[in-house]
Amino acid sequence: MEALISIAIGLLTACGVFLMLRARTFPLILGLTLLSYAVNLFLFASGRLRMNAPPLIRDGASCTDPLPQALVLTAIVIGFGMTAYLVMLSLRALSESGDDHVDVREKQ
C-alpha cells in the first residue's frame, strides 16, 4: 500500500506542477487542485498507513492516528475556499482583459 500511495502522490504532484506551468488560468486552477490533492494525501500518510483501524482510542483495540485526519480536513476546507476565490479572480481577469493568460494583458 505504501508504494501505491507514494505513486499516487507523485503522479498527482507531477500532473499538478505540469498544469501549473501552463500559462493559462484554467489549467493553472486544475494544477493547483491536483497539487492540493497530493498534499492532502501526503498529510494523511504522515500518521502512518493502517488498514481497518478506527481513529478512536480504546483499550486493547488497534487504532490509527486521528490527528492527521483532522489536519487534512482543515487543509481541504481551506484549499476549497482558496480555489473558489481563485476561480472568481480568473473570471474577473478574463472579463477585464478578454484573455485567459496568467499575465492578464491589456485588451487589444
Partner 1 sequence: MTQHAAILPLLIPFVAALLQLAAKGYGIGVQRAIGLVAAALGVAATLWLVLLADDGMVRVYALGDWVAPFGIVLAVDRLAAIMVLLTASLAASALLYASAGFDERGRHFHPLFQLQVFGLQGAFLTGDLFNLFVFFEVMLLASYVLLAHGGGLARTRAGLAYVVLNLAGSALFLIALGMLYGTLGTLNLADVALRLQAPGIDVAPARLACMLLIAVFALKAALLPLSFWLPHAYAAAGAPVAALFVIMTKVGIVSILRVQAIAFAPAAATADLLDGWLLPLALATVLFAAIGALAAMRLRDLTAWLVLASAGTLLVVPVFPQADVSAAALYYLMQSTFVAAALFLIAELVAVRRGDVADAFLPGPRLQTPWLGLAFLLAAASAVGLPPFAGFLGKLMLLSALRDSGSAIAIWSVFLFAGLLLMLALAKGGGRLFWERSPKHPHGSTHPFCWRRSLAVALLVSPALLLALFARPVSDYAARAAAQLHDPQTYVTGVLGGHAIERETRP
In the complex, the residues that contact partner 1 under the rule CB under 8 A are 20, 25, 28, 32, 35-36, 38-40, 42-43, 45-48, 67-68, 71, 74-75, 78-79, 81-82, 85-86, 89-90, 92-93, 96-97, 102-104, 106
Q: What share of the chain is helix, strand, coil (3-state, %, to 5)?
A: 65, 0, 30
What gap in Å lies between CA 77 and CA 92, rounded to an integer? 23
- Shortest distance, CB of residue 36 to partner 1, whole angstroms? 6
Distances (CA, A) of 5 to 12, 53, 55, 58, 77: 11, 17, 19, 27, 22
- Shortest distance, CB of residue 40 to partner 1, whole angstroms? 8
CB closer to partner 1, 8 vs 104 = 104
Assigned C-alpha cell, 56: 478512536
CB closer to partner 1, 11 vs 67 = 67
- Shortest distance, CB of residue 66 to partner 1, whole angstroms? 12
